């Protein structure tokens, strides 16, 4: 079964980094509790530039997770579906 994910880009200033890290931990806990996986990557050449990925087994699970998320997702309707390669 194909997976679905959303991507969110976030820029964080150095003074906000610790607070942002705490938010990321809460998000990871939340998404795990609703059956999703959550990853965060920081751009190697630009400290503070983050990509957040939220993955679910299907679009409906992902939509429900974002709808009840404690923090607003910037563009929850932009969902990417896994492409099955031959």
pLDDT value, residue 5: 95
| DSSP structure string for 32-46 | HHTT-EEEEEE-TTS
pLDDT value, residue 47: 95
pLDDT value, residue 1: 58
Q: What is the pLDDT confidence band of residue 69, given thresholds at 50, 70 and 90?
A: very high
Q: What is the mean pLDDT of residues 33-60?
A: 96
Q: What is the pLDDT confidence band of residue 71, given thresholds at 50, 70 and 90?
A: confident
Taking the C-alpha atoms of residue 51 and residue 31, their distance in angstroms, rounded to an integer, is: 16
For the beta sheet containing 37-42, the strands, ordered from the edge strand earlier in sequence to the opposite edge, are 37-42, 49-56, 4-11, 80-81
């Amino acid at each position: 079964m194909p997976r679905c994910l959303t991507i969110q880009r976030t820029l964080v200033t150095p003074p906000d980094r610790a607070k942002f890290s705490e938010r990321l931990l809460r998000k990871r806990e939340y998404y795990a509790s609703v059956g999703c996986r959550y990853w965060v990557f920081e751009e190697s050449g630009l400290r503070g530039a983050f990509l957040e990925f939220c993955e679910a087994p299907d679009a409906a699970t992902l939509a429900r997770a974002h709808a009840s998320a404690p923090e607003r997702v910037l563009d929850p309707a932009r969902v990417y579906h896994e492409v099955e390669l031959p």
